[in-house]
Structure 1
Amino acid sequence: MATEPLANEALNIMHDWVQSESLRKHGYAVADSMKHFAQLRGDDVDLWEAVGLLHDMDYESHPNLERSPTEGHPFIGVAWLRDHGWSEEVCRAILSHADYANV
Structure 2
Amino acid sequence: MNYLDTKVKVSFLATALFSVSVCVMSFQAWATTGSERHPVNCATAEGDLRAIASEKKHAEDMQLESIAAITPAGALLGLVTGTEQKRLQMLSGDYIKQLDARAAEIKETCNLN
Q: Normalising by structure 2, report the TM-score.
A: 0.26
From the two aligned structures, give the one with the greater helix fraction. 2
